[in-house]
Structure 1
Amino acid sequence: MYIHTFNCGLYLVRNIESGTPTTRFVKGFAGKGCGVPLLIGHYWIQTVPETFSVVSLDISDPEHPRDVSSVSIGKDEYPHWLAADPTNTRLVLNSGGSTGNRLFLVNFDTETGALAIDKRFRDVNDTVPGLKMSARRWPNGWTGTVWPHGSVFSR
């Protein structure tokens, strides 16, 4: 079993079935505030606000997680929450920060663990990927900023 901490540490817990489980630190990510990760196959996908990025690790060797891929979402964006679509090939990522506040789609290759920002998913006439959640006119007529905390794909 892996345990991830808000302080950006990844720990491996062994011997859970026994009366004497052990815990071992196996990976650290920069900074603090690492948000909600995903496990897809043998890939651990982690948000890392300190580097404004999402990181993919190959955990097929649980004792030695290996960096596979990473994507940056921009210096004003703080990645927090990830969710996968039913095929595990698209991830929704929410971000919030001092000036950033966007929803992104990230393409995920389930064979290689590669991550790539979907640059087509953007506001009309915007040059930056993602949907800006600030100062929008919403379907109910209200105009303002929303701060999405978690996102999921519907089926």
Structure 2
Amino acid sequence: MSRSPFLSRSELVLAHIEETGETVSEKRLRRVNADRLVHLGCLLECPSITLSPADFCPQNRAANDWTQFGSSFLLFGGLLESAVTQVGVHLLLDGFDVFFLSDCLDTLEPDDIETFRSRIKSYGGVFLTLNQAVRELAAFESDIKVQSALIGSLR
């Protein structure tokens, strides 16, 4: 994989992290950022998938070829103490670039958020906000129409 510190439209996959049951982040995600994420996916014409820890258990892991989607995953939804960390670390260990949308994730243990972030960063994960991701994608976008639409989508 590329191990790039930057998001690249050509290799980007939007990955919603599925939790069992509805979490606070799922409610917040729908209310605040869901529309923006859908718009971003359409604008960039990149694959959008849903992942869960079950996708990485031994019996499912061999059957899943994530390279068919791209080399950079932008993760959102879910809890840092469970599915987000599990899925993200698996992708990182498999050689993918993994970016975590910090304003589209949640935790049941706010006092421990730095512990979760440190663990993920130790494997090479990158945290950024949705607005940071949009600005970064716009900065590296060669299609002027897409770049303009990205900048126009900022809040």
User: Comparing both structures, which one devotes a greater share of its residues to strand?
Assistant: 1
Give the TM-score, by structure 1 length. Answer: 0.23
- Say which structure is richer in helix: 2
Using CA pairs under 8 Å that are at least 6 residues apart, name the structure with larger relative contact order, 1 or 2. 2
Indicate the structure (1 or 2) with the bigger Cα radius of gyration: 1
